[in-house]
Structure 1
Amino acid sequence: MTDNSYFENAVRDLYEAIVHVKSVETISAQHKSNIQGRTSSHDVDLYWEFTDGDLTYKTVIQVQEKTTLGELFTFMRTIRDIPGQTVGVVLTQPVYQKDIKEMAANAGIILYEQIIPEQDIVEPVLSNIQVNVDKDWVKVEKERVGIGDEQVQVMSNPKYAFIYDGQGNCIDSVQGIFDSYGKQQSGLNQGEKKSIVHQFNTPVFLETNHELVPFVKLNDIKFDLELVSVNELSGEEMVDYVLDKVFRYFGG
């Protein structure tokens, strides 16, 4: 992963996370936009205007892979040209120069420093999990033991349940099935999501907490599998970081 793509992805994820923010009210969020200032317009990576109910804050977020005094000075002029309580955020690699840190602090620019990972590491992530029992089989079994409409429940989190064959032998677990697909990665590319339906060749069962119906027949297991980079910054965490720094800067 290049430095540019790492930070560009971070800005995109930050932008997408803004819509879920509840602690403030977003007035405007613009990705890769042109913002009009007092004297001229400015191309910015991300513009976020929000209010806490009392004051309105304007945040300009820019990618600068390796921040220099010249880039910081240009960004400072952009910040000062936008009226109101405006602060800048620079997504950049770690800054070690004292003069750059001092200039950023005096100019109302927050340095969001991140080390670029040497290699991209991806992990499988599951979502929309459905563990589907055979409802017709369960209905017949409940009628057989005379419990009518009484509920028969499996574990509250069935992904941790064990799977049994017709003789009561434990042959796998729901989590084991998830892990097997994760290891195969099913020919996925990073960011691509695949819907999977795992079916069984022979009848299998899940254990319950009911004395008269100790097992229920399992039909299939459905879930979505996606390969996600674990190196990427979390959009939600970035939003929290930016809000905290903005409020601290303005004395909130």
Structure 2
Amino acid sequence: MTSNSHFYEKAIRDIYDAIAQEQSVRTLNTQYPATIQGKTSVHAADIYWEFTDGDIIYKTVIQAKETVTLGELFSLVRIIRDIPGQTTGVLITQPVYKKDIKEMAANAGIILYELLEPSGQDLWEPVVDNIQINVDKEWVKKEKERVGLGDEQVQISANPKYSFIYDENGNLVDSVQGIFDSYSRKHRSAGTERRTVIHEFPAPAFLQTHHELVPFIKLENITFDFALVNVNELSGEEMVKYILGNIFKYFGQ
């Protein structure tokens, strides 16, 4: 067994231990290692976690893989689709650079938790979560009235990687992910203290909507939580909070 295997197996144990201490949700069932009865067959996994936020029951299948192939991704997709209810998957793995795997995982409800094997020195990585893209509600109201939309919703992309920012002339000027990356570069020596960032725009800024009548929507600001985390000392509690945040984001909570 490689040293990488031991590292990812330890991450699984740390996550399992942290689940028992998590207070923001109520755990209904947790197994490690797990044997899960699906609709059509029985499945094996590293961890099975069933919990509720008080309203909805969520089911999560967590696996550790040194590398993720399309075949392994398809296997996890089959498992989560065989488990009825609000079910997601988590793959603890090395950084994934293949676009098709990332896109398939995102569309299938699989969280890729990418970890680097510890090196001999501290390795700091930015963590961004609790993202809120806030639109100018008064501007939106007036624009919808102008084109006769009434109460119809105008949707924007929920994925920061595909949320592009334009100026009032329709010129592409940035992306939501670009804002996160810029902030990360500026604060790489700021330590691990968690902070809430409110990003204001110096000039009118818009997101594309792909709506025929309202192709762009004006932004007010973007808020997010930011911290620099030493990946060599990443705790199970931090991993569980990241997983929870992404589960709720996937289901629109």
Aligned to 1:42: 43
Letter in 1 for 2:242: Y
Identity %: 61
1:232, distance to aligned residue in structure 2 (A) = 4.7
> Which runs of 5 or more structure 2 residues have no equivalent in the other structure?
123-230
Q: Secondary structure at the match of 2:73?
A: helix
Structure 2: distance between partners of 1:68 and 1:118: 24
Equivalents in 2 of 1:21, 1:33: separation in Å? 19
Superposed CA RMSD: 1.9
What stretches of structure 1 of length at least 5 have no aligned partner? 122-229
- CA 1:72–1:80: 2 relative to 1, 3 Å: same
Q: For 1:58 and 1:33, locate their aligned partners in 2 and report how far apart those are by CA, in whole Å.
A: 13
Per-residue CA deviation, residues 8-41 of structure 1 (Å, 9 max, x unaligned), is 0011011011111111000011111211100001
| Runs of 4+ residues deviating >3 angstroms | 118-121
Report what 1:116 is aligned to.
117
Aligned residues: 145
Letter in 2 for 1:23: S
Q: Which has the larger radius of gyration?
A: 1
Q: Secondary structure at the match of 1:88?
A: strand
8 Å CA contact 2:18, 2:237 repeated in 1: yes
What is the letter of the counterpart of residue 61 of structure 1?
A: I
In the alignment, what sits opposite 2:30?
Answer: 29
Q: What residue is the counterpart of 1:166 in the other structure? A: none
Residue by residue over 1:202-231, the C-alpha shift from the partner in whole angstroms, topping out at 9 and shown as x without a partner, is: xxxxxxxxxxxxxxxxxxxxxxxxxxxx83
Match of 1:53 in 2: 54
Q: Mapping of 1:34-183 within 5 angstroms?
A: 34-119=35-120
2:29 maps to amino acid: S
**Structure 1 residue 53, shift from structure 2 partner:** 0.3
Contact 1:34 / 1:42 at 8 angstroms: preserved in 2? yes
TM-superposed deviation, 1:120:
9.0
The alignment partner of 2:46 has SS state of strand
Asked if 2 retains the 8 angstrom alpha-carbon contact of 1:10 and 1:232, the reply is no
Q: Report the equivalent of 1:161.
A: none
Q: Deviations over 1:116-156 (max 9, x none)?
A: 123599xxxxxxxxxxxxxxxxxxxxxxxxxxxxxxxxxxx
CA distance in 1, matches of 2:46, 2:56: 24
Using the alignment, how far apart are the partners of 2:233 and 2:115 within structure 1? 10
- For residues 114 and 23 of structure 2, the distance between their equivalents in structure 1, rounded to whole angstroms, comes to 25
Residue of structure 2 in register with 1:222 after alignment: none
